[in-house]
């Protein structure tokens, strides 16, 4: 994707690779918000293409046919590609598709997976050192097949250049987060209202309580900032970017965090990142440098110093005590 401090181009190019047997609900929930964004804005904010593997169409689990815009080999100029798959993804084994996904990764294209899509991304080898989620149907099987990968039981997860989603109607929440980053919360809320989806769930639902319950004193602007922080653990935003997403000034956002949480905005953000690092230490076998990068620290030394300051021990000593 583009640099996080850049606005998207007039047309943000998103492709959908539909694997036969994909769930129609998951597909609709991920693509319809983009169509609605174009309709509401009366402009072409998002350019959408559909891809199939062998034919000029893909067939959903309910036998619905989606015609392809282009063939797999004609993928070009993409900013983001979503792989949308269903229950058959565990047995999917197409070397050509895996190779193509790796090529897109090398080209800098952001990759995403919906429902069973993350299984295919994992098989292609493009989820290494990335946090991700998957539909609960596939979670236990993936844990066995890929013990070194970091699976989270969440609605959706954004980790740098990867978007993964559990499927069902969860893509509505994920796409709200994407549209919010591109065009702000007010416009994203209009898109959600279009689908009578007025209660936007945070990315970590339902494994944790909602943000408003975890932070009962937080204002709406703060909740928007916290959700953006959670979606940018590995690629931290700066205060101005958080303020833009929250639709308040940087000074006001900082004042709110100090008033409601007794801590500055960016210190609160760092605590979130370090809490994620602690979780990765406990639940994965990732190397220290990989954990540092996955939580937005420029070096292992910087990470170790910040971790020791928050938890009273170094990451290495904590991992040793766990073992």
205 occurs within a structural domain: no
Q: What is the mean pLDDT of residues 77-88?
A: 90
Q: Are residues 153 and 83 in the same domain?
A: yes
Query: Residue 104 pLDDT more than 90?
Result: yes
Q: What is the mean pLDDT of residues 133-144?
A: 77
244 occurs within a structural domain: yes
Three-class DSSP category at 297 = coil
Q: Are residues 235 and 300 in the same domain?
A: yes
Domain encompassing residue 107: 12-177
The CA–CA distances, whole Å, from 100 to 96, 105, 114, 120 equal 6, 9, 18, 12
pLDDT confidence tier of residue 323, bands split at 50, 70 and 90: low
What does the pLDDT read at residue 1?
38
Query: Residue 6 pLDDT more than 60?
Result: no
Three-class DSSP category at 207 = coil
CATH number at residue 55: 3.40.50.880
Q: What is the mean pLDDT of residues 85-98?
A: 87
How high does pLDDT run on average in the chain? 86
pTM: 0.69
Task: Express as a percent the part of the chain with pLDDT over 70.
Answer: 91
The candidate with the shortest Cα–Cα distance to 258, out of 218, 307, 229, is 218
Q: What is the mean pLDDT of residues 26-40?
A: 94
Per-residue model confidence as pLDDT tens digits over 41-82: 998 999 999 998 887 888 888 889 999 877 777 777 899 999
Q: What is the mean pLDDT of residues 159-165?
A: 91
Q: Are residues 113 and 54 in the same domain?
A: yes
Q: How many domains does the chain have?
A: 2
184 occurs within a structural domain: no
Listed residues 177, 198, 225: the one ending a domain: 177
What does the pLDDT read at residue 231?
80
Q: Are residues 155 and 46 in the same domain?
A: yes
274 occurs within a structural domain: yes
Q: Are residues 241 and 146 in the same domain?
A: no
Q: Are residues 142 and 214 in the same domain?
A: no
pLDDT confidence tier of residue 18, bands split at 50, 70 and 90: very high
Fill in the DSSP letter of residue 80: E
What does the pLDDT read at residue 5?
44
Q: Are residues 133 and 226 in the same domain?
A: no
Q: What is the mean pLDDT of residues 3-15?
A: 65
Query: Residue 167 pLDDT more than 50?
Result: yes
Beta strands in the chain (DSSP E): 12-18, 46-52, 57-59, 65-67, 70-71, 80-85, 110-115, 131-132, 150-151, 156-159, 162-165
Lowest mean pLDDT among 162-171, 203-212, 309-318: 203-212
Q: Are residues 42 and 171 in the same domain?
A: yes
Listed residues 158, 177, 196: the one ending a domain: 177
Per-residue model confidence as pLDDT tens digits over 190-230: 998 888 776 666 665 543 446 677 788 889 899 889 988 98
Interatomic CA distance for residues 197 and 191, integer angstroms: 9
Greater pLDDT, 93 or 76: 93
The candidate with the shortest Cα–Cα distance to 49, out of 13, 22, 79, 87, is 13
139 occurs within a structural domain: yes
Q: Are residues 223 and 114 in the same domain?
A: no
Interatomic CA distance for residues 48 and 252, integer angstroms: 37
Close Cβ partners of 211 (under 8 Å, ≥ 6 residues apart)? 202, 218, 223, 226, 227
pLDDT confidence tier of residue 11, bands split at 50, 70 and 90: confident
What does the pLDDT read at residue 3?
43
303 occurs within a structural domain: yes
Q: Are residues 146 and 226 in the same domain?
A: no
Query: Residue 234 pLDDT more than 80?
Result: yes
Q: Are residues 161 and 46 in the same domain?
A: yes
Q: Are residues 149 and 62 in the same domain?
A: yes
CATH number at residue 268: 1.10.10.60
Listed residues 128, 156, 177: the one ending a domain: 177
């Amino acid at each position: 994707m583009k640099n996080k401090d850049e606005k998207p181009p007039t047309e943000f190019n998103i492709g959908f690779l539909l694997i036969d047997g994909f769930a129609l609900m998951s597909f609709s929930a991920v693509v319809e918000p983009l169509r609605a964004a174009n309709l509401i804005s009366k402009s072409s904010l998002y350019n959408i293409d559909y891809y199939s593997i062998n034919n000029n169409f893909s067939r959903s689990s309910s036998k619905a046919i989606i015609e392809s815009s282009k063939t797999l080999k004609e993928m070009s100029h993409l900013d983001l590609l979503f792989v949308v798959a269903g229950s058959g993804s565990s047995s999917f084994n197409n070397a050509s598709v895996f190779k193509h996904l790796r090529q897109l990764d090398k080209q800098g294209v952001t990759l995403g997976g919906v429902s069973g899509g993350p299984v295919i991304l994992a098989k292609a080898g493009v989820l290494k050192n990335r946090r991700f989620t998957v539909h609960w149907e596939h979670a236990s099987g993936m844990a066995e097949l890929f013990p070194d990968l970091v699976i989270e039981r969440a609605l959706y997860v954004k980790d740098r250049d990867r978007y993964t989603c559990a499927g069902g109607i969860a893509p509505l929440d994920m796409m709200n987060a994407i549209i919010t980053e591109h065009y702000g919360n007010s416009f994203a809320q209009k898109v959600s209202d279009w689908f009578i989806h007025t209660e936007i769930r945070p990315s970590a639902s339902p494994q944790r309580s909602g943000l408003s319950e975890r932070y009962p004193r937080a204002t709406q602007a703060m909740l928007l900032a916290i959700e953006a922080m959670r979606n940018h653990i590995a690629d931290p935003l700066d205060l101005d970017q958080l303020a833009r997403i929250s639709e308040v000034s940087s000074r006001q956002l900082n004042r709110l965090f100090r008033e409601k949480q007794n801590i500055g905005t960016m210190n609160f953000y760092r605590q979130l990142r370090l809490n994620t690092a602690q979780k990765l230490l406990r639940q994965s076998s990732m190397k220290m440098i990989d954990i540092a990068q996955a939580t937005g620290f420029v070096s292992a030394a910087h990470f170790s110093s910040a971790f020791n300051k928050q938890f009273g021990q170094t990451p290495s000593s904590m991992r040793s005590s766990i073992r």
